[in-house]
Amino acid sequence: MRKKQNKTKKLMIWAVCGGLVVSMFSSVTTGFAEEVVNQVNETILGLPSNDHTIQVPHSDPNIVADQNDHLPKFTGFQSEETKIHTSKEIQPKVNSKVAKSLIVDTAKKKDVYNLSPDQIESLITKGYSIDDLYQVDELSNRFLMDPQTLIERKEATEADWATLKKVLQKENDEQNLLELKEKYPEEFKQLEQESLKAQEKILLLSLYEQGKGTLAQLLQQYKTNGEKGVINYKSIEQKSAASKSFKLNTNAVPEDVLANLKEISQNTGEPLNELISKYNIAKELSKQVLVEKE
């Protein structure tokens, strides 16, 4: 009996080996090999059956992309492809430099003179360029001259824009200086003794007219610090008046409020005198509101 069992085991082992060899070359006999191995595990090795084991498929199955090609295509709906991104560069019809120059800065103050659409069309028909139109606009507003008058002046003299600009500037300076001479004859005589250009005389007389200082003070400041220095110049009288006004303002402000205003002035750069003035205005307004409520 024992010999018979050994013989059976040997036959089963040979069968398993044969089945495994065959399964290496054929997918059809794989099931046979698995079944025989299962029997060997149970009969010879005494292991439990693996019939209940769930076979997990390969994590990377061989999925064919065109596996549904045999299905009929749906023809009841047609779609159109739309390109969202394209590398095609759209070229503007107008030269890029000209287009950039046509951007209007709305923050600037409005011009006194502007070319009408009819004037623009007429000038372009005559052969004027975009740059010519800008020259007309700039010079007419700079010298407060009607655009049509400016155009007629240019066409009559046949001068280029640079030459015309110099001529107009000279005429404008002479006119301004004549008006200031009539208004301040004594001061004009003092400036005549100095080697000054017409524009320099106009600058000093204009600042004198604004009360920036005496003519002697302004002239000395101009000789020492130039145009920027004389424009920003404040006379001793102006500084003294500003100092008195500042002291009066600070005396009316509580110390804690004044300390806060000084800190704000340092952080924001806004003059302390202006902050105090705003505080006093707000204080007066609040008093008026309280009086009206009573």
* Structural domain contains residue 24: yes
pLDDT value of residue 231:
85
Which of 99, 132, 158 delimits the end of a domain? 158
Q: Note the pLDDT tens digit of each residue in 233-245.
A: 775 455 554 555 5
* Structural domain contains residue 117: yes
Instruction: Please determine, for residue 68, whether its predicted confidence score (pLDDT) is greater than 70.
Output: no
Instruction: Please determine, for residue 2, whether its predicted confidence score (pLDDT) is greater than 90.
Output: no
Percent of the chain past pLDDT 70, that is, above it, reads: 53
Instruction: Please determine, for residue 133, whether its predicted confidence score (pLDDT) is greater than 50.
Output: yes
Structural domain boundaries, residue 256:
239-293
Q: Note the pLDDT tens digit of each residue in 258-268.
A: 888 888 888 88
Query: Do 250 and 282 fall within a single domain?
Result: yes
Separation in Å, CA 187 to CA 73, 194, 215, 285:
100, 12, 7, 45
pLDDT value of residue 9:
55
Give every CB contact of residue 151 below 8 A, 6+ residues apart in sequence: 123, 136
Q: State mean pLDDT over 53-72.
A: 55
* Structural domain contains residue 133: yes
Tell me the C-alpha distance between 273 and 247, whole Å.
Answer: 9
pLDDT value of residue 210:
86
Instruction: Please determine, for residue 82, whether its predicted confidence score (pLDDT) is greater than 80.
Output: no
* Structural domain contains residue 67: no
Q: State mean pLDDT over 20-29.
A: 48
Query: Do 193 and 223 fall within a single domain?
Result: yes
Place of tokens 């000279």: 170
Tell me the C-alpha distance between 204 and 215, whole Å.
Answer: 7
Count: domains in the chain: 4
Give every CB contact of residue 255 below 8 A, 6+ residues apart in sequence: none
Q: State mean pLDDT over 50-65.
A: 53
pLDDT value of residue 92:
41
Confidence class for position 89, pLDDT limits 50, 70, 90: very low
* Structural domain contains residue 102: no
Query: Do 153 and 184 fall within a single domain?
Result: no
Q: Which among 106, 110, 111, 105 has a CA at the least distance from the CA of 146?
A: 111
Confidence class for position 87, pLDDT limits 50, 70, 90: very low
Residue 230, classed as helix, strand or coil, is helix
* Structural domain contains residue 92: no
pLDDT value of residue 273:
75
| Angle, CA of 17, 18 and 22, to the nearest 5° | 120
* Structural domain contains residue 13: yes
Confidence class for position 104, pLDDT limits 50, 70, 90: very low
| DSSP secondary structure code for residue 239 in this structure | H
> Which is higher by pLDDT, 100 or 56?
56
Give every CB contact of residue 41 below 8 A, 6+ residues apart in sequence: 47, 48, 49, 50
Tell me the C-alpha distance between 133 and 267, whole Å.
Answer: 46
Instruction: Please determine, for residue 10, whether its predicted confidence score (pLDDT) is greater than 50.
Output: yes
Which of 214, 233, 252 delimits the end of a domain? 233
* Structural domain contains residue 63: no
Q: State mean pLDDT over 30-36.
A: 52
pLDDT value of residue 267:
80
pLDDT value of residue 290:
61
Q: DSSP string of 39-107?
A: HHHHHTS-PPP-TTPPPPPPSS----TTTTTTSPPP-S-------S---PPPPPSS-HHHHHHT---TT
Tell me the C-alpha distance between 208 and 202, whole Å.
Answer: 10
